[in-house]
Amino acid sequence: MLLQVKNLSHTYDPDIKSNNYTLKDINFEVQKGEFIGLIGHTGSGKSTLVQTLNALIHPTKGEIIIDGQDITKIKNLKEIRKKVGLVFQYPEHQLFEENIAADVSFGPKNLGLNEDEVDRRVKQALEWVNLDYEEFKDRSPFRLSGGQQRRVAIAGVLAMEPEILILDEPTAGLDPKARVELINEIVNLKDKFGLTIILISHRMEEIAQLADRILVLESGKLVLEGSPSYVFDHDSYLEEIGLGIPQITSVMKRLKKKLKLSDMRTDIFTIEDAKQEILKVKRVKDVR
C-alpha cells in the first residue's frame, strides 16, 4: 500500500469544537499507480486534505502513512516533498523566479542535488510537459500563456521526482484546447512512469473519464468512495450535497427512464460510449 490515511482530522483553531473541524475522521487508502479523483463543493475540505498529504499542513489528529512511514512524525520535510508533489490551482502561486530554468530547478536544488543532476532533472521535467528546454529555459514564466504556466508549475514538481502527484484543479481557467492538451499530458505521465495521481476537479466529466476511484468530501467528511460508475450512480445524493454527475451520464439516465429501457447502461462518461450504447440497444430492439 503506497498511501494510508487513518482517522485524519484537522482544525485551524485548536479551541474549536470537534464537530466543527475542517476535516473529520477521514480514512482511505491509495495503491501505487492509482488515479484518484477528489470531489466536493467549495469548503468541503479538499485543499486542506491534499495539503496535509504534502505536509504543508500538519493535521490535528490521525496518521498519514506513505511507504510505511507516518509522515506526521517526520521532521525532515525534504523527505516528504520527494514522495508527494503538489501543484496548486493557480500557477502564479508557484512561479517566482526570473526564468523558467531557475523556477523548475528550485525544488531539486533544495534537495541538495549536485548541479549536473539538477540540470538533468530540469531538462527532463520540461520535456515531460512538452516544453522545449532550449526554447523556454531563459524565458520569464510570467510571459507565458495560462496553459504554459500550468505546465511549468507541473514541471517544477515533477523535477522532484515524487511518487505521488497531487493536482488541484489543474485545468481551471484554461480554454478547451489547452485543457484537453494538459489532461492528455497528465495521462501520458501516469502511463509512462506509473505515477500515482490525486486530482481535484469540479469537472465531473474529467473525473469520470480519468479516475480509477473517486473520493467525495462533504463538510470535511469522506461521504462516498468507489469507482466512477458506483459514485455517479448516486446522482440524487450528489445533487443533494451540491454536486452533479457528468452531463452525458445524466442524458443517458433520462433517456433510459423516458424510453423505459431497462437494459440500457447509464454508467457512460463519453459521447462515443453513449453513441455505441444507444446503437446497441436499438439493434436489440430491432431484433425483437
pLDDT in tens, 139-150: 999 999 888 998
Q: Is the pLDDT assigned to residue 264 strictly greater than 70?
A: yes
pLDDT at 283: 78
Cell of residue 263, nine digits: 437494459
| Per-residue pLDDT reduced to its tens digit, 90-130 | 777 778 899 999 999 999 999 899 999 999 999 999 999 99
What is the reported pTM? Answer: 0.92
Judge contact between 54 and 48, C-beta under 8 A.
no
Q: What are phi and psi of 193, to 5 degrees?
A: -115, 0
Q: What integer pLDDT is reported at residue 89 of this predicted model? A: 82
Task: Kindly state the average pLDDT of the residues 269-283.
Answer: 89
**Terminal Cα-to-Cα distance of the chain (whole angstroms):** 49
Burial of 56 (0-12, 13-18, 19+ CB in 10 A): middle
Judged against a pLDDT cut of 60, whether residue 18 lies above it is answered with no
Rounded CA gap, 125 and 159, in Å? 5
How confident is the model over 206-232, as pLDDT tens digits?
A: 999 999 999 999 999 999 999 999 999
Tell me if 64 sits within 8 A of 164, measured CB to CB. no
Q: Quick one: what percent of the chain has pLDDT higher than 90?
A: 70
